């Protein structure tokens, strides 16, 4: 059994961060060790929430306790999401290095949670620059959305060529694989949404229908990163992992729309994201 150390946010109500990542990992047969960077009542998309961001010292203490149980050498990957602040980000990057030192085969999958199209940045000042200069070079897999990709690569994205230039720029800085979890471009149909994976062996694009979800549920990027990582760790090549992740998140979206909620319906859709009823083929770009 593969094991992932997932360091992300936590909410009591709803599905973002670890709440959107841990269950999909477990349902797909991956053991998840969850370290929570925050504990909020709900995700910030509601506009009001309670709770707190944990200190860097708190997270380091929890990681030390996990390490004392001999867990780090058994971790196959570290998955990080919302970091909270720069100090906490430093602890996460250092933890990824500790895991890779304990298990040289382990990988670091960084979901560079910073912002989104239409919302802009929603993290504390200094964190975007930290992610760009420290987390990106440390990552093996990077899973930005389109807004984050544009910022990290310093490259606006209007076309598919723009997206490929941006992912190539990021791969040149360290990560061997970049997964763009949501791509909307001018040279594609308006009723479709895409995901793109670019690694050293090639690049692939998958397209799915754009479902009407109002308001758009938070946490989809967190879930996609976990779904892709799970299949990647299970031995799927990047194109196959992309197809599996796209089919799974589409099934989750369909269930969420049917149930008329703004929260991802991971529990209701669990059988469908393990065995998606609809598949989408990835197209090789290079």
Residues 5-43 pLDDT 10s: 999 999 999 999 999 999 999 999 999 999 999 999 999
Location of structure tokens 């008329």: 260
DSSP for 50-98, please give it.
-EEEPPHHHHHHHHHHHHHTT-GGG-SEEEE----SHHHHHHHHHHHHH
Higher pLDDT, 248 or 218: 248
Tell me what pLDDT residue 124 has. 85
272 in Cβ contact with 256 (< 8 Å): no
Would you state the pLDDT for residue 189? 87
Residue range 3-188+217-239 in CATH 3.40.50.1000: no
160, containing H or E segment = helix 160-171
Which positions ≥6 away from 70 have C-beta within 8 Å?
none
pLDDT over 90 at 84, yes or no = no
- pLDDT value at position 216? 79
45 burial level (CB within 10 Å; 0-12, 13-18, 19+)? middle
Q: Tell me the C-alpha distance between 228 and 216, whole Å.
A: 21
As given in the structure block, the two tokens for residue 133 are 């200069």
Mean pLDDT over the full length of the chain: 95
For residues 141 and 4, the answer to whether their CB atoms sit within 8 Å is: no
pLDDT at residue 214, as a whole number: 76
**Any known ligand binding at 220?**
no
Strands 141-142 and 177-183: parallel
Q: Pairing state of beta strands 202-209 and 192-199?
A: antiparallel
pLDDT at position 121 is: 81
Rounded Cα distance between 50 and 38, Å, is: 11
Q: What is the pLDDT of residue 116?
A: 83
| Residue 85, marked binder | no
> Residue 46 gets which letter from DSSP?
G
Under DSSP, is residue 82 helix (H, G, I), strand (E, B) or coil? coil
For the chain, the C-alpha Rg in angstroms (whole number) is 17
Q: What is the pLDDT of residue 45?
A: 86
3-state helix, strand, coil in the chain (%, to 5): 40, 20, 35
Res. 143: pLDDT tops 80: yes
Q: Using 50, 70 and 90 to split pLDDT, how confident is the model at 119? A: confident
pLDDT of 188: 85
Mean pLDDT of 234-248: 98
- In which residue are the tokens 């979206």 written? 253
Q: Binding site annotation covers 254?
A: no
How would residue 230 be classed by pLDDT, with cut points 50, 70 and 90? very high
Structure confidence at residue 233 (pLDDT): 98
Helix, coil or strand: residue 100: helix
Report domain extents, the chain.
3-188+217-239
Rounded Cα distance between 161 and 119, Å, is 25
Can you list the alpha helix ranges (DSSP code H) found in 28-83? 56-68
Predicted confidence (pLDDT) per residue in 158-217, tens digit: 999 999 999 999 999 999 999 999 999 988 888 999 999 999 999 999 999 998 887 778
Pairing of strands 283-284, 115-116: unpaired
**Residue 222 annotated as binding?**
yes
262 Cβ contact partners less than 8 Å away, ≥ 6 residues apart: 215, 216, 217, 218
DSSP character for 131?
I
């Amino acid at each position: 059994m593969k094991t992932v150390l997932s360091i992300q946010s936590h909410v009591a109500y709803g599905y973002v961060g670890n709440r959107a990542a841990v269950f999909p990992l477990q349902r797909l047969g991956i053991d998840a060790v969850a370290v929570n960077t925050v504990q909020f009542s709900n995700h910030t998309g509601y506009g009001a929430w309670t709770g707190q961001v944990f200190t860097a010292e708190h997270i380091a203490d929890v990681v030390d306790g996990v390490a004392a149980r001999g867990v780090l050498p058994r971790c196959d990957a570290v998955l990080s999401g919302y970091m909270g602040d720069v100090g906490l980000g430093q602890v996460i990057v250092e933890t990824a290095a500790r895991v890779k030192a304990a298990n040289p085969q382990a990988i670091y999958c960084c979901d560079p949670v910073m912002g989104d199209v239409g919302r802009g940045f929603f993290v504390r000042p200094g964190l975007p620059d930290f992610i760009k200069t420290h987390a990106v070079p440390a990552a093996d897999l990077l899973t930005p959305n389109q807004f984050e990709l544009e910022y990290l690569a310093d490259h606006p994205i209007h076309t598919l060529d723009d997206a490929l230039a941006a992912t190539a720029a990021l791969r040149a800085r360290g990560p061997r694989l970049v997964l763009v979890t949501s791509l909307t471009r001018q040279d594609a149909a308006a009723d479709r949404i895409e995901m793109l994976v670019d690694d050293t062996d090639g690049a692939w694009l998958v397209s799915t229908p754009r479902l009407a979800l109002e308001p758009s549920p938070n946490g989809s990027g967190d879930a996609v990163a976990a779904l892709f990582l799970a299949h990647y760790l299970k031995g799927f090549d990047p194109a196959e992992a992309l197809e599996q992740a796209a089919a799974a998140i589409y099934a989750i979206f369909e269930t969420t729309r049917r149930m008329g909620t703004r929260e991802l319906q991971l529990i209701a859709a669990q059988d469908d994201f393990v065995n998606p009823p609809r598949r989408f083929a990835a197209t090789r770009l290079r």
